[in-house]
Amino acid sequence: MTRSRYLIARLFQSFGMSSVGRRSTDAAAELHLLREAEEILGRLSWKSLEELDDLSVEYWNLRKLSKEFSSLTEEIQRASQTLQISHDERAELLEKVVDSTKDLVADREEFIENSERLNSERDAIVREARSVKRRYDGFKAKLDVLAEEGSNDQEKIGETEKQLSELKTRFAKLKTKRNELSSRIKELDDTIEKKDDSIEARRKDLRAEALDSYQSIGKANRDISTCRAKLGIVEKEMSSLFCEIGHYIAIKSNHESCRKVAQENRGLIHQMDALRDSVNMNNHLAGRTGPPGSPAD
């Protein structure tokens, strides 16, 4: 926020028109940008501050953390190289697995296709059998009702009995066919299971060869994860120190001890000054502080 926009906003506030929520959000966003700018300034400047007593603690801690950072980065690079080599070795072994089991896998897939086809046929037969059973139950109920009513319509009764007999015969044939298909499916499933066992036996032999590669991959991944976790802690500590240094330089930019560093980064410091003023103005418009430039700031 510029000074002119601040004055316009103050004018609107005097007429009862304000947006406290928006000003608070703007202030928070700008404060976040200011902290990022402080970190950048500290990151750019810290190596030049060995002789500055006020930042001695931060400087020497950063020297120590920088060495840790470099050491961890090198460890990650070494572990990554080991990981890549192990992955390459594993890929070669996997290719061997594919080649050694190609014939068995092809046979297995053919058996699976046949099994799926027979399962589809069996499902269709089961659906048809259910339909036949439903029709049979309907005619049976019809015959029972006619008997209970003492119907003498022998033609209707005879026709119904004939239909029941035909449906019963049809159902029996469907049941037989279903059982035949189930038996064939069972044989195929047994064959597929034997093929799976054969494939697994071949793969097991090759997995024994690949054990060293898998162990190397596991160790390299653990090393990388451990180093990255440590690196994250180091980076967080360094970022905090960068922020402290950047904040100090921005505030003390006119002091003799910081003048050279501030001059080298004057563009960034000017942006930080503008952000700080904007944060103060937005906070005042949100009712959090006194007017910019007042003792309350």
pLDDT confidence of residue 296: 39
Of 285 and 35, the structure prediction assigns the larger pLDDT to 35
What pLDDT was estimated at residue 294? 45
Average pLDDT over residues 8-36: 73
At residue 102, φ and ψ (nearest 5 deg) are -60, -45
Task: Give CA–CA dist 161/119, Å, rounded.
Answer: 33
Report residue 289's pLDDT band, with 50, 70 and 90 as the boundaries: low
pLDDT at 290: 52
The answer, yes or no, to whether residue 16 has pLDDT greater than 90, is no
What residue spans of 149-255 are helical by DSSP H? 154-251
Output 177 or 101, whichever has higher pLDDT.
177
Q: Which domains are delineated in the chain?
A: 3-285 (1.10.287)
What pLDDT does residue 292 have?
A: 57
CB 261 within 8 A of CB 5: no
| Structure token digits, residue 259 | 């003048």
Nearest of 110, 80, 96 to residue 209 by alpha carbon: 96
d(CA 3, CA 277): 9
pLDDT confidence of residue 128: 92
Among the residue ranges 56-65, 169-178, 253-262, the one predicted with the least confidence is 253-262
Question: Among 30, 29, 39, which Cα is nearest to 240's?
Answer: 39
Q: Could you give the dihedral angle defined by the CA atoms of residues 137, 139, 140 and 144, in that order, rounded to the nearest 10 degrees?
A: 140
pLDDT for the residue numbered 61: 94
Q: Is the pTM of this model over 0.75?
A: no
Distance between first and last Cα of the chain? 16
Q: In whole angstroms, give the CA distance from residue 158 to residue 154.
A: 6
pLDDT over threshold 50, residue 295: no
pLDDT, mean over the chain: 84
Query: pLDDT digits over 26-46, tens only?
Result: 788 888 898 999 999 999 989
pLDDT tens for 110-166 read 999 999 999 999 999 999 999 999 989 898 888 888 777 776 677 778 888 888 899
Task: Say what percent of the chain tops pLDDT 90.
Answer: 36
117 three-class SS? helix
Whether 206 has a pLDDT exceeding 90, the answer reads no
Question: Which residue would you say has higher pLDDT here, 246 or 99?
Answer: 246
Residue 297 pLDDT grade (very low, low, confident, very high; cuts 50, 70, 90): very low
* Of the listed ranges 127-131, 203-207, 253-257, the one predicted with least confidence: 203-207
Question: How far are the Cα atoms of 8, 158, 286, 292 from residue 295, in angstroms, in the given order?
Answer: 23, 111, 17, 9
pLDDT score for 245:
92
Lowest mean pLDDT among 30-34, 135-139, 238-242, 283-287: 283-287
How many Cα atoms occupy the beta-carbon half-sphere of 234 within 13 Å? 19
Judged by DSSP in three states, 290 sits in: coil
CA distance 78 to 84: 10
Does the pLDDT value for residue 293 go beyond 60? no
Token pair listed for 258:
């910081």
